[in-house]
Structure formats: C-alpha cells, structure tokens
C-alpha cells in the first residue's frame, strides 16, 4: 500500500528499478497493441535501427551531435556563470537580467546574423545552441544567486573576509550544488533543441539532419529508431551530469539519504507508539 500512498519515502534503488522496468514494459506493450496501424511496429523500428547503424551512418551522426552539445554546453556554462556571478555587482546586474530576457526570442530570426558572424557550418550550430541555452541558464543561476541569504554574506564580512573571498565562499561554492542541477536541466533543454538547430544548418550533418531526411521520405521506422537513439544518449548525458554533481558535491547524496530516512523513522516511531498505546486502550 505504501507504493500508492502519497508522501512516502522513495524506497530502495532496486525497487525503483523494478518499478521503472514495469512501466517501460507497459509502455512497450501499449505501443505494440496500438490501434494505429500507420505506426511502425517495434520489430520494424529495431530493424531500421540496425540498418541505420550499419549503413546509414547513425554512429557517426551521434558522435557529431554529441560533440556539438559538449562544445555548446562548455561555452554556455562559461558565459552564463560569468554573467550570473557578475550580477552581484549593481552596475553589471542589468546585463545579466537583459540576457535572461532574451530567452523569449526565437532562434529562426537569428540564423542570418549568426551566419555572418560565424561563417556557417559547425560554428553556426554552436552559436545558435549556445545562445538558446545561455539565456535559460543565466536566468536559473541568477535566481540562485539572488536567493543567497544576506545573513551568510554578513557572517563572512564579520569574519573579516574580503569581497572576493565572500563571492567565492558564499556565491560560488555555497551554491555549487544548485548551479550544477541547473546546468543538468539546461543540458536536457539543449539536447531537446539540438535536432532543431541541426535542421537549420545541415551542412555538417548530425542527428537533426538525419531525422529530417528520413522524415522527408516518410520513413517512420527510421525516424523512431533515431528518436530512440536520441532518448538513450540524452539519458546517458543526464546520468553523467548527476555523477558529476555527486562527485563535486557529495553532501547532496547525504541530504537525499536523510530525506528518505526521515519518513521511515517517523513511520517507525508512529508504529512503536501505537504498539505501546494498544494495551492501554485494550484495558
């Protein structure tokens, strides 16, 4: 009953894996039993994946796309963190907030000026993806910086720390776990945007160009095979970011373990109290 009751502890990793496998099997069964006959079957998708991998250059395109997201993420993190951390200076705060407002601007109208600036090809795709990711990451990290308690800053000043030391200890190190989580979410957003960016500029190939070419000829099995590969690689990248977060901020695991243990302790305490009170109520 604890699995269907809200506000329960998350349980063990093994239990979560079993539940995840169960829901995955249910999703695959729903696809296989779908009444829409125009959708390719799971066997057709698996066969299309094999053809694309052996003959269609799927592996090389995945490598191109992964290289694009890696370069764009590195540039995004550098630019975004510099702008967000600089927002603690009043004169530079409007710059960070202005860049954050650009997240409402679409990428389509920026292709021409970015092409003039980069010359097209791989650099154009890096510029477009970096722009799209930076506007959102600056927004998230600037908010994290704004939410730093003033008491922590005042405490460092009382201890005689300089402005640079305060910025490093409180703003950078103190928010590193939340910043890495924002980077992880931003990576997922960038990965979902990458097919659109590669569709805008197809000269250097990539998953986006491959999936658009298959969709143009209505090869649905190949399209869903590529989408499956995109999903798997995206999950691997997300897991890698989670590992990086745990390595750089090991206290996050301890915090999660404490959060999971608290409901169990409270539940055990309630059961013990009920056992103690039971004889009294019976008498």
Q: Are 167 and 85 in contact (CB under 8 A)?
A: yes
Cα(81)–Cα(83) distance, rounded to whole angstroms?
5
Quick one: pLDDT at residue 67? 93
Rg of the chain over Cα atoms, rounded to whole angstroms, equals 25
Query: 42 to each of 32, 60, 220, how far by Cα in Å?
Result: 7, 24, 12
Burial class from Cβ neighbours inside 10 Å (0-12, 13-18, 19+) for residue 187 reads buried
Q: Are 87 and 119 in contact (CB under 8 A)?
A: no
DSSP 167: I
Quick one: pLDDT at residue 137? 95
Quick one: pLDDT at residue 248? 87
**Exposure of 204 in the CB half-sphere (CA atoms within 13 A):** 20
Q: Where are the domains of the chain?
A: 56-252
Is the overall model pTM greater than 0.75, yes or no? Answer: yes
Give 162-184 pLDDT, tens digit per residue: 888 988 989 998 899 999 999 99
* CATH superfamily for domain 56-252: MetI-like (1.10.3720.10)
Per residue of the chain (283 residues), give pLDDT as tens: 566 677 666 666 777 788 888 888 998 888 888 888 778 888 888 999 999 998 888 899 999 999 999 999 999 999 999 999 998 888 989 999 999 999 888 787 888 898 888 888 889 999 999 999 999 999 999 999 999 988 988 888 888 888 889 889 899 988 999 999 999 999 999 998 888 888 887 777 888 888 888 888 888 899 999 999 999 999 999 999 999 999 988 876 655 555 555 444 444 554 544 544 544 444 4
**Residue 203: strand, helix, or coil:** coil
Quick one: pLDDT at residue 225? 92
Quick one: pLDDT at residue 203? 76
Quick one: pLDDT at residue 80? 95
Record the tokens describing residue 230, joined without a space. Answer: 């995109």
Of the candidates 207, 205, 232, 202, the one whose C-alpha atom is nearest the C-alpha of residue 222 is 207
Quick one: pLDDT at residue 276? 46
């Amino acid at each position: 009953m604890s699995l269907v009751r809200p506000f329960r502890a998350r349980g063990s990793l093994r239990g979560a894996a079993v539940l995840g496998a169960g829901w995955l099997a249910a999703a695959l069964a729903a696809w296989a039993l779908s009444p829409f006959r125009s959708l390719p079957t799971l066997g057709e998708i698996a066969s299309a994946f094999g053809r694309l991998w052996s003959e269609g250059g799927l592996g090389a395109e995945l490598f191109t796309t992964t290289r694009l997201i890696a370069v764009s993420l590195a540039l995004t993190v550098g630019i975004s963190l510099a702008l967000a951390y600089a927002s603690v200076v009043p004169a530079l705060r409007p710059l960070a907030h202005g860049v954050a407002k650009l997240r409402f601007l679409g990428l389509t109208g920026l292709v021409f000026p970015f092409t003039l600036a980069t010359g097209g090809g791989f650099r154009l795709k890096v510029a477009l993806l970096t722009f799209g990711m930076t506007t959102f990451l600056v927004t998230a990290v600037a908010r994290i910086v704004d939410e730093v308690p003033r008491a922590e800053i005042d405490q460092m000043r009382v201890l005689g720390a300089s402005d640079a030391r305060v910025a490093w200890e409180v703003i950078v190190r103190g928010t590193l776990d939340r910043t890495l989580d924002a980077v992880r979410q931003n990576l997922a957003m960038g990965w979902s945007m990458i097919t659109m960016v590669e569709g805008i500029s197809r000269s250097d190939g990539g998953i986006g160009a491959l999936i658009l070419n298959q969709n143009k000829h209505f090869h649905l099995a190949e399209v869903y095979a590529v989408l499956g590969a995109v999903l798997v690689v995206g999950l691997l990248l997300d897991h890698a970011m989670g590992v990086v977060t745990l390595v750089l901020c090991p206290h996050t695991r301890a915090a999660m373990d404490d959060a999971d243990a608290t409901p169990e302790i409270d539940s055990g305490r309630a059961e013990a109290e009920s056992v103690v009170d039971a004889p009294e109520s019976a008498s």
